[in-house]
Amino acid sequence: MLTKKQLALISVGTSLSFWDIFNVPYIENEASAQLGSINSTLILSAEMIGYFTGGAINGLIASKYGRKLGIILSMLIIFLGSTIGFFSTSFLQLAIAEFIIGFGIEGEVAVVPAYVSEMSSANFRGRAVGFTTLGGFLMSLVVGPVAVIAGSNWRILFLPSLIISAFALIFRITLPESKMWEEKRREKMAWDNTVLLFLAIWFTSYFAGYSLFSTPVFSLLSNKGFSNTSLYFTYILYGDPLGVTLASILNDKLERKFSSSASNLLSGIAIISMPLLGGVSLLIAGFIAMFFQGFKFPTMYAYTAENLGTKIRSLGYGIADGIGHLGGAVGPVLFALTYGYNVDYSFLLIGIVSMLSGVMLLKGARVKGKSLEEIKG
């Protein structure tokens, strides 16, 4: 079993991944002045395509050669992408950097929840996964102010990746291998159709979630009279770490089947209401939408790993979450196109897709208080 110190230090590396997730909306917003709303959205789409490939590939590596190798590789790749991003001088270089970063981030997301779940007890598994990712989501509290201060100097947002990754790599070399993986490493891998269910769940969930990071949200804020859109988007974004924090604390007290479902359903309702409101009410609705987007991650991260067997856990997780990120690539583009046609319909689309994800989660297994062997083996 992992110690609390080891969990905390794993979280440091994972926080680096989520720093790179949260800095993209600000980079995208600054780039939109030169590239336009559709082209700047492609920066986010490039990262999503990186997720698509990184999860399955690193998940397969972690399934065949060990979880430890998987979490080491993810840090190396994020470092490479962040270096290219820091020194980029063109849209193409920036898009390539975000693709590589997305590859590394999804490699991290595919392996860390599986590794932590396998190295934690049944009654602490949900909180262990939640607290490991909590530090990452709390990065939004830092990214927002840094982005507002940096303004057009967006390169600063790549700098933490270059610093933290070196520390994370050194520490991860000292971690033990997953005992559950070692016990089943020689077993033949068998396909599980549950992977397809969670692929659909993550696709729709990311379709909605990453749309909230795209240019139409900034445009809505501007059209509603908010002059400094980056500042007011940050107020909305702060709902995310609050949701993650609460979910991490409550993760083992709730049946994750229902808490995962409810977070997507309630976020969808809040999203639909956003264009209908103005002033503080709009900010509150956006905050609530982001709160439940944040709340879903500790619950869904743990829940996805729990619904997959040990042999296919990291690969299946990488396929479901990684390919599911295509929703994050498609969603913002469709959101931007629909927004240009009708603002209300665009937010209605995103809200309905979020709610669809919540409905599909009800098809998963009950997991509260059960060991991984009891749930799927």
pLDDT in tens, 303-314: 999 999 888 999
Round to whole Å and give the CA distance between 247 and 298: 6
For the stretch 98-130, pLDDT in tens is 899 889 988 888 899 889 999 988 888 988 888
Round to whole Å and give the CA distance between 119 and 130: 14
Average the pLDDT over 190-219 and give the result.
93
So where are the chain's domains? 1-182, 189-376
What's at 224, amino acid-wise? K
Average the pLDDT over 2-23 and give the result.
78
Q: Please determine whether the domains at 1-182 and 189-376 fall in the same fold group of CATH.
A: yes
- Residue 140 has a pLDDT of 64
Round to whole Å and give the CA distance between 148 and 153: 10
Torsion of CA 22, 275, 211, 348, to 10 degrees: 150
Round to whole Å and give the CA distance between 129 and 297: 10
Report residue 321 as tokens. 């979450």
Average the pLDDT over 331-356 and give the result.
95
| CATH class as words, domain 189-376 | mainly alpha
Round to whole Å and give the CA distance between 320 and 21: 18
Q: 128, 7 in Cβ contact below 8 A? A: yes
Residue 90 DSSP symbol: S
Taking 90 as the threshold, does the pLDDT of residue 241 lie above it? no
Question: Residue 39 — very low, low, confident or very high, per pLDDT cuts 50/70/90?
Answer: low
- Domain at 1-182, CATH from 1.25.40.340, 3.40.50.970, 1.10.260.40, 1.20.1250.20: 1.20.1250.20
